[in-house]
Amino acid sequence: MNREIYIRDGRAPIPQKAITSRIMSAIKGKNTKPELALRKELWHLGIKGYRLHWKKAPGRPDISFPGKKLAIFVNGCFWHRCPNCQPPLPKNHSRFWKEKFKKNTVRDQQKIKLLMEQDWATLEIWECQIKKKLKACVHKVKRLIEK
């Protein structure tokens, strides 16, 4: 029997199936499909001058316009608990996931609070919004930059 051994770092429960572990390991934290789609459209419309995951901005926003003090977070619906599409909780290890998602949302709120304390404008754009209304998302960014 060929059994795979997984190194556990405590950030996720031990999966019941090997395929689940492979899928979860492939999830990226930076340069996700929604981020790339938004950045491509910003670039296409000539909206440039942003920084990616800029270390000098509190919370390292996905996209920062330092000169305008604008921070944009592109949130995955599942991981950040989208209020629009309200993804269901995983059926297995539900207590773990509830705690994990709560920590994620608290961390998100703390990042926004730190930015606002330093006079940054913030914008959260959800994965589902990018998929359904990419142009509207880009126009929100454009309006904030032009202020």
Place of tokens 């993804």: 87
Q: How far apart are CA 120 and CA 65, in angstroms?
A: 10
The pLDDT tens digits of the residues spanning 43-74 come to 999 999 999 999 999 999 999 999 999 999 99
Q: Smallest Cα–Cα separation from 34: which of 79, 76, 78?
A: 76
Q: Are 64 and 57 in contact (CB under 8 A)?
A: yes
What pTM was estimated for this model as a whole?
Answer: 0.80
- Flag residues of the chain having pLDDT under 50: 1-2, 6, 20, 26
Give the pLDDT of residue 26.
47
Domains and CATH numbers, the chain: 31-52+78-146 (3.40.960.10)
DSSP H or E stretch at residue 64 = strand 63-65
Give the pLDDT of residue 147.
81
